[in-house]
Structure 1
Amino acid sequence: MKFLAFTKNGVEGLALSEGDAGYHGLTADDSSWPGSLMALISNGFPAAALDALRAGPAIDPDEVTIALPIERPGKIVCIGLNYAAHAAEAGLELPSVPTVFARFSTGLVPSGAPIVRPTVSDMLDYEAELAVVIGKGGRDIPKESALDHVAGYTIFNDGSIRDWQLATPQWTVGKNFDNTGGFGPVLVTPDELPAGASGLRMQLKLNGEVMQDTKTDDLIFDVPSLIAHLSKAFTLEPGDVIATGTPSGIGGARDPKVWMKPGDVCEIEIEGIGTLTNPIVQQG
């Protein structure tokens, strides 16, 4: 199943597509409205809710405003240096345990909405990432059953303000400027993809030029490993997001460096999931 959160005429909506079928769904002003995607995830995708969406009218994604799949995730956990070639281009050794940092929901923008270059820096970089959305929560989750806790997969652009990120050993500020994290456009359930979303091609294009190109089975720490590792420290809850890391090809590692600027368009496509598209604008 693919879920598309949207707004239409200012009203929240949710649509469902299965297989090659188009989207059908409802808006919150409909008497059969089953609730947000977050509500469906929290309740284990109730059959009645899915049937209500299936029975809804056809939804054309081009005629609605795409919304964030999860509007305000409780946790956005990001993994750094999770592709060997990216660690090499950063001049860093391969990590023996996952490198973890956090993002905040105030930085998220949906597909179609602009990523904003702040006034304090022109070093706005892109990072294509596979994102995991937790369905069933838990602590100390065994690796062997970790994928049972996944609600689905989507796409993340970990937009980074490089000078602010690298000004200190902690990356938090440079990774959390408002409106710099692209997220979406859809949530794809695990049954539609290979186990752990492994082996999917992921490409990032800037103004149509391929800047990053990899497969998700090149991750150093795969999805089950990340879930098991993170849940040793803290409880994962429904709707939490894990951004699994970016491959080589970031703008800051190029010669000359490539920074996203107003007027650019950044697209990230992951096989079997879709395309996250964000134009770049200057902070007003």
Structure 2
Amino acid sequence: MPHPRFLSFSRNGRHGYGLAVEGGVVDLSARHGAAWPTLREVIQADRLVQFAEEAKSLKPDFTLDEIRFEIPIPTPEKLICVGVNFPDRNEEYKDGQAAPANPSLFIRFPRSFTGHGEPLIRPPESPQLDYEGEIVIVIGKGGRRIPEAGALDHIAALSLCNEGTIRDWVRHAKFNVTQGKNFDRTGSIGPWVIPFTDEAQIADIKLETRVNGEIRQSDRTSRMIFSFRRIINYISTFTTLVPGDVIVTGTPTGAGARFDPPIWLKPGDIVEVEADGIGTLRNTIADEI
């Protein structure tokens, strides 16, 4: 049986959240928004399973065609990304160094992402818009210095990310990537979050990125340098994780920058990120107006 699919949306100027069901969307925010304004608060209250059960008896309030998808967790306290987390990705750097002992991390702002079905925006400052398909974990139970053994107990939900990057802007300074990772609406998260139930959901699943139907990235989570357990353990060593925090866990080899010559995304392209059991995140590309 497929997992429940919770999504955030806008419709007729109103922001809300709901459950994708056959025929459309059950508007959970219309029923529970006063107590839990966004999916972040729903996750904090540990209500995903309860709301999914409740929605089984409800008919959709509107169709998917009537909404615009938004990023599932609209205002996470933290949105942390992991870099260089697949073996072939490490080798792309051609620096002769073995895989690092600890994860490389950087921060993105929610404004740098858009929802499923929306265009990723190529800014006028650079044509070097690139894709990075990744799996997202959403924290449900907070903590500090979380042991690896119990780390998966802190995951509430899973999603997908196209961690779009302006490549030349990640080299604008001596040793940081913040600029190239945070242009408005250059990445996407979605289409939805699905509740996390057990390790089998993420232990060895295929992650694939396609551009205009052509497979560009394909790998399996079992090959990640840093496991989901290790990522949670490491990040929680230096910062307290809280419910609704979003962690983007790394991309396989095959981004456009690694082609010779590089292949940058251009207006009209369609990028799809797909993972077993989670779904497909799809976006077009457009120039900033």
Determine if the TM-score, normalized by the shorter chain, exceeds 0.5. Answer: yes
Q: 1:33·1:52 contact (CA, 8 Å) conserved in 2?
A: no
Deviation above 6 Å: which 4+ runs of structure 1? 31-34
Q: Is the 8 A contact 1:25 1:54 kept in 2?
A: no
Shift of 1:55: 3.9
CA contact (8 A) 1:15 1:23 kept: no
| 1:12–1:27 Cα contact (<8 Å) kept | no
Relative to structure 1, is the Cα distance of residues 165 and 280 closer, same or farther in structure 2, using a 3 angstrom cutoff?
A: same
Q: What is the aligned partner in structure 1 of residue 114 from structure 2?
A: 109
The 5-angstrom pairing of residues 45-60 of structure 1 reads: 45=47, 49-58=51-60, 60=63
Which segment drifts farther, 256-265 or 90-99?
90-99
Structure-1 residue corresponding to 2:210:
205
The correspondence for 2:142, drawn from 119, 137, 140, is 137
Q: Quick check: 1:160–1:180 contact (8 Å CA) kept in 2?
A: yes
Would you say 1:178 and 2:180 are equivalent positions? no
Structure 2 SS opposite 1:87: helix
1:23 Cα deviation after fit: 5.8
**How far apart, in 1, do the equivalents of 2:170 and 2:5 lie?**
34
Deviation at 1:113, TM superposition (A): 1.0
CA distance in structure 2 between the aligned counterparts of 1:30 and 1:153, rounded to whole angstroms = 24
Q: Is contact 1:34–1:52 with CA below 8 Å preserved after alignment? A: no
Alpha-carbon spacing, 1:212–1:106, altered in 2? closer, same or farther (3 Å)? same
**1:185-227 Cα shifts (integer Å, max 9, x gaps):** 1101112x64461211111111111111111111100111100
**What pairs up with 1:61-80 in 2 under 5 angstroms?**
61-80=64-83
Letter in 1 for 2:46: G
Q: Secondary structure at the match of 1:226?
A: helix
For residues 233 and 77 of structure 1, what CA distance do their matches in structure 2 show?
13
Is 1:26 equivalent to 2:32 in the alignment?
A: no
Q: Return closer, same or farther for 1:242/1:47 CA change in 2, 3 Å cut-off.
A: closer
* Pair 31,274 (structure 1): closer, same or farther in 2 beyond 3 Å: closer
**Are 1:25 and 1:55, in contact at CA under 8 Å, matched by a contact in 2?**
no
- Which whole-Å deviations, capped at 9, do the CAs of 1:84-141 have from their partners, x for residues lacking one? 1011112243111111111111101001111111101111111010111101111111
Give the CA deviation at 1:39. 1.6
Aligned partners of 1:29, 1:153: CA distance in 2, in Å? Answer: 24
- Partner of 1:232, secondary structure, is helix
**Alpha-carbon distance in structure 1 between the residues aligned to 2:164 and 2:46:** 31
> Structure 2 CA distance, aligned partners of 1:24 and 1:84?
39
The DSSP-based 3-state class of the residue aligned with 1:4 is strand
Contact 1:199 1:215 in 2 (8 A): yes
Q: Are the counterparts in 1 of residues 40 and 75 from structure 2 also a CA contact under 8 Å?
A: no
Query: Measured at CA, do residues 206 and 31 of structure 1 come closer, stay the same or move farther in structure 2, by a change above 3 Å?
Result: closer
1:181, CA displacement in angstroms? 1.6
Alignment length, in residue pairs? 281
Write out per-residue CA displacement over residues 20-51 of structure 1, whole angstroms, 9 at most, x where no aligned residue: x6665225445887632112101011766445
Q: In structure 2, what is the Cα distance between the partners aligned to 1:53 and 1:71?
A: 22
| 1:263 counterpart (240, 252, 268) | 268
Q: Which residue of 2 aligns with 1:272?
A: 277
Q: Please say if 1:37 is aligned against 2:42.
A: no
Kindly indicate whether the alpha-carbon contact (under 8 Å) linking 1:11 and 1:27 is maintained by their aligned counterparts in 2.
Answer: no
Aligned counterpart, 2:18: 15
| Root-mean-square deviation (Å) | 2.1
CA distance in 2, matches of 1:44, 1:87: 37
Amino acid aligned to 1:254: F
| TM-score of the superposed pair, with normalisation by structure 2 | 0.90
Partners of 1:49 and 1:162 lie apart in 2 by 41
Q: Which runs of 5+ in 2 are unaligned?
A: none
Seq. identity, %: 37
- 1:56–1:65 Cα change, 3 Å: farther
